[in-house]
Structure 1
C-alpha cells in the first residue's frame, strides 16, 4: 500500500465564538460585585485603561423636587435619557420595539448613554477559583433553595417562599416581622403564614423558626414527642435556665424522673439547626436597577450608576507609548491593549443597555405586582420577555441571573418575576397558578356532605367549565402541595363526622 501526501478542500459549517464575544457574554451574566472585581483585574493588566475619577454627584437643590424632574435624579451627566417610563396600561406594538443583538446586544435603551466609566475591586479569575467552588461546603441558603425547587410550590406561593428563604440567618432562624413582610408583598398574613408552615417542614428540622421555643417545638413534632407536658416545658424555658426544677415539675405536672427524661430529650435537640452548614461572609446586595412610581401611573426604570464601572481609554498615553514603540513585539502589545480597552468599554456599555431593556420589559409585564401586591403576579417566562424586546432567551436568562431590582415593595432578584401559568381553555389570557390553586381550595372547602366530595377528575371538569385548561395530575399536585387529602379520605372523614 503506497503512502503519499495530497491536498484536499472540504466545506463545512461550525460555530465559532471569538474571544471578544466570549468576553461580552461573560460580562452579561456577572453580578455587579463580580463585575467590579473583573474590571479591577483589567485595570491592572491593561495600562491604557483608567478609572474616570470625575465627580458625578448630582446637584442638590433646596426644596422638594417635582415628580417630572425624576428623570434627572441619580443619572450621570449626559445620560438624561437613560431611564425608561413604563405605564401600568401601555402595550408596545411590535413595530415600536427595537431589536438587538441575539447574544449580547441590546437595541437603543433611550439615547446614547456613556455608562462605561470607573470601576474597582480585585481580580475575578483569582477569586472565582473552580476548585474552591467544588470543595467548599454548601451554605444553608443553597440547601434551602435546593429543597424549594422540588417542593411543589408554584406561582405566588413560590414567590413568597423565596422572600422568606432570603430572610433566614446562618443559624436557621427567620428574621423580620411577618406582618411587615406581608404588607410589603401585598398579601394576607394568613397566606404568608401558610407558606411558612410548609417551609418549616424543610431539612434541617427547626429552620424557619422565629425563636428558640418554636425551633425546639418543630424538632419535637418531627419526633412525635410534642405532648402537653413537653409543651409546658417549652413554655417555661426561663425556669429551666434558672434550674428551678420544683417549679418546672409543677408547671409540667410530672414527677422528678419524667422531668429528667424530658430535659435529656431537650438537650438532644439543636437550638441552631443551620450551624451545620458552611457559611460565607455576608455581602450587602446593591440593586442593579431602580424602579419608582411617577405621575400618571408610570413606572420609572433606571440603572444604579453606583454599580456601573466607569472606564476611560487613555488616548494621550496611547499616543506616547505608540510613538516610543520600536520593536514589532512592542507595537503588537500596544495595539492589543488598545483593542482590548476599546472592546471592554463597548461591552460594558452594551451590558448596561441590555440590563435596562430587560428590566423595563419585566416591569411592564409585572406592573400589577408593583401596584397591588404579590397576588397580582402574572405568568411570565423567558420567551415572553425575549420576544417582546427582540433578544434571544439565553440573553434574557443571563441578564436575570444575579441581578437585583429595587422596587417600592422591596428588592428582588429579576428571576423572582418569572412565574408559571395555566392555559385558558377559551384561548384568552393564561391564569396564574396561584389563582387556580385558590379555586381548587375553594371547591374542596364547600364540600359539606359525603355526596358533595369532588374527585380530582371532577375538579378538572369544573375548572374547564370556567375556562381553566388543567390536567388531572396537576390538580393532584396542587392538592397535595396544599396538604389536602384525597377524595377517598375526605369522604371517610365526612361519613364519620
Structure 2
C-alpha cells in the first residue's frame, strides 16, 4: 500500500464558557450608570421583574397588562430570551438568527458606547501574538496605561513585580506601541509624538532632534531649535505645524465623558471598633425582584402555547438577572474589602500611606482570577473620608529602588516643589536626596520622570520663572 490514512484520537481539556457566564462577566464590568440603564430596560421589557420590595398589598399587573407587554416586545422586533441577553451589542456564542441570544435593538442602544481603551488594545493583542508569556505581560501593560494612553510606570518596576526579565517587558511594550491609536503606550510626550511620526514616515533626523528638544519649543526659543535641528526658519515652522496636528493624548478618544461627580460604588469608613468598615453604596445598587406571585397567577390562565413560552422565557431571564446582580455585588465587595486591607495605611493617613498593589496580589488573596479583578476595578469608585477615588487608583507598581508606591512618591515630589522657595528651587538631585532622608530610595532619573509626569518644568525653568516674577 503506497499510502495510508491514519485516524488518531487525542484527549484534551478546554474551557467552554456558557452564554450565561459570558454575560455575567460583562455585567460585572459595567459602571453603576450603565447597569442602571440596563436594569431599567429589563424592567420595561419583562413584566415579571419588579423594582424594590414587592409588598403584599401592592397592586399586581393584570393578564391584559401581561399580554400588552408581550405585544410590545414583539412590535419592537425583539423577544425575551432564555438566559441573559447579550450586552453591548454582542451576541452569545453559538447563537444564530433571531433565536437564543438575539441582540435586542433597544438594549443595544441603551448601552451604546465605544469600547474602553483596554478592551480596544486587548482585542489587538489577541491578534498580534499567540505567545502566552508575551500576552500576559502585554495585558499588564495595557491595564497600567493612564486614560491618556501613557505608561507612567517604569518597565523595570513592572518587570520586578511580574518577576520577568526587563527585556521581555520592553518587547511587550514595543508590541503594544504598534497598536491603534497611534502613540499609545508611550512613556512621555516625545515618544508619543515619535511613534505617530514614524507611522507617517516622517521621523527623520531633524524631527528626532526636535522631539529631543521640545522644551525649547515650549519656551519658543526658535533660534536654538533651528540650530539643533539643522533647518531654516521655514522648515522649522512646517515641522512645528506637523507636530501640532498630532494627538498628544491618544487614549482620550476611548474615555467616556466625565460626570461632574464621581459616585462611589463602595464606601470605606472607620468603624467604631477601630477597624475599616467596607460596604456597598446602597444608592448605586439596583433593586429588582422576580414577582413569583404574579407569575403563578398569570400561569394559571394562559392557554396559548406562545403565551406560555413567553412567560417561561420571562421567568428564566428574570431569575438569571437577579442572581447575577447578587453575585456582582458580592464580587465587588470582596475585591474592595481586600483593597482596603492591603491599602489600610492610605485610608488612615492619606497619600503617604499608599502602597504598591497589583491585580495579581489581590487575586491570589481572595482566590479569583486577575481578569476578574481587572473587570471589577473598571468603571468603579471607592468613597473615603478623603474623597472618592477610581478603584484603579489603588493599583500601581513600586518605585524601582524601594517598596513605596510610585503614585505616592509622585505626590510627595509635587508637594516638595509646590512648597519650594523662590530662592531655593529644588533640583532633581536635591529632591532625590530629600526623599532618601525620608526613607524613600529614588534615583535622580526617577525623580525627573515623575516630575515630567506631573508636568512640572525642570529646576532651571522654574528658577527663571521666579526671577521674572521678582
Larger Rg belongs to: 1
TM-score (norm. length: structure 2): 0.48
* More relative contact order, 1 or 2 (CA 8 Å, 6+ apart): 1
